[in-house]
């Protein structure tokens, strides 16, 4: 299956792109996606433990399942003042 991944802020800078398509096995979960990204983009590895994932604009846990064509947004922690 293929999912579209959108990266924001420091994640986008580390990967050098704002979005990508990732091929995953059927029955993959969000954590499988993040593991795959950590292998393909080592610069992301240290940041992926702290991101929130949203599948089709709804925040989900790392154990959430994915389907072909899903859009996954990876959002790093945000703070402000």
Question: Is 62 inside a domain boundary?
Answer: yes
Domain count, the chain: 1
- The CATH number of whichever domain residue 59 belongs to comes to 3.10.20.30
User: pLDDT tens across 1-45, in order?
Assistant: 999 999 999 999 999 999 999 999 999 999 999 999 999 999 999
Owning domain of residue 37: 2-75
C-alpha closest to that of 33 among 8, 58, 68, 57: 68
66 burial type by CB count under 10 A (0-12 exposed, 13-18 middle, 19+ buried)? buried
Is pLDDT above 60 for 80? Answer: no
The predicted model scores a pTM of: 0.91
Flag whether 8 is in a domain.
yes
Contact status, residue 23 vs residue 1, Cβ threshold 8 Å: yes
Helix (H) or strand (E) holding 9: helix 9-15
Residue 80 lies in a domain: no
């Amino acid at each position: 299956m293929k999912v579209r991944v959108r990266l924001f802020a420091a994640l986008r800078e580390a990967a050098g792109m704002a979005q990508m398509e990732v091929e995953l096995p059927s029955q993959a979960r969000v954590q499988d996606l993040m593991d795959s990204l950590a292998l393909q983009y080592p610069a992301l590895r240290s940041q992926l433990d702290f991101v929130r994932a949203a599948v089709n604009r709804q925040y989900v846990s790392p154990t959430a399942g994915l389907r072909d064509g899903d859009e996954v947004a990876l959002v790093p922690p945000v703070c402000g003042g």
